[in-house]
Structure 1
């Protein structure tokens, strides 16, 4: 039975960004409810200083849910979604272009291992090096789909959407 999905945009983006919008539309067509928090105000202090405010906002959204939601995130949205999963119950993690580290922050990316997770990353990601998330996924034995794309993953929005549909069907 479908539940609720919280889709978190990246730092240089907003809640109407292409990827989160396409994924929200697909989820809604499958009977899921969705929300897209607006982190733009949280992002103003810079990447490292936006992590805690983003996690706090995400926690508020999760607390308002009747059941553990699926978290979807792109870049900084993926980073904070993973960290939030360590502190509150979530039903799944679908994470795109995930940074393993944020320069200037002592926090490192992590996820709960008992939560269904799929990582998608671009071979040519110029912002979040593939090697770091590849190593992370290998240590945790998490599924990682690597596509021939850059950080924005714009060339693979349709295939990412198909993967998301399959991911939701398996939950």
Structure 2
């Protein structure tokens, strides 16, 4: 049974960013409801300083849900989605171009291991090095799909959309 999806954009973008917009349409076409919080005011604080306000904003959106939502995030949005999953119940995590660390901040990326998770990353990501998230996924035995792309993953929007559709289908069938 479909539920609710919260899609968190990366830094220096907004709720109308290409990836979160396309994925919102995928979810909605499958009967899921969606929302895309706007973190642009938080991002004005800088990468490291925006983490706590972004997590607080995401927690507010999760608290307003009737059931645990699926969290989708790109880059900084993936980072905060994973951290939010440590503190509040979520139904799943679909994470793109995920940083393992944000320079200037003591928080390291993490996720709850009992939450269905899929991480997608580009081989040529020059913003969030693949080695760090590859090591993270390996230590936790999490699914990691690596595509021949850069940080924006723009050459693989169709692949990301299909994977997201499969991911939501699996979650709906488990409910």
> What's the TM-score, normalizing by structure 1?
1.00
Q: Which runs of 5+ in 2 are unaligned?
A: none
Moved over 2 A (4+): none
The equivalent of 1:94 in structure 2 is 94
Please list every run of 5 or more consecutive structure 1 residues that lacks an aligned counterpart in the other structure. Answer: none
Deviation of residue 12 (structure 1)? Answer: 1.1
Specify the alignment match of 2:26 in structure 1.
26
The residue that corresponds to 1:169 in the other structure is: 169
Counterparts of 1:110 and 1:48 in 2: how far apart (Å)? 16
- For 1:12 and 1:43, the matched residues in 2 are separated by 7
Distance 1:84 1:101 in 2: 15
The RMSD of aligned alpha carbons is 0.2
- 2:9 aligned with 1:9: yes
Aligned residues: 171
Q: 1:9-158 to 2 correspondence within 5 Å?
A: 9-158=9-158
Secondary structure of the 2:41 match is: coil
C-alpha distance in structure 2 between counterparts of 1:102 and 1:71, whole Å: 19
Residue 98 (structure 1) shift: 0.1
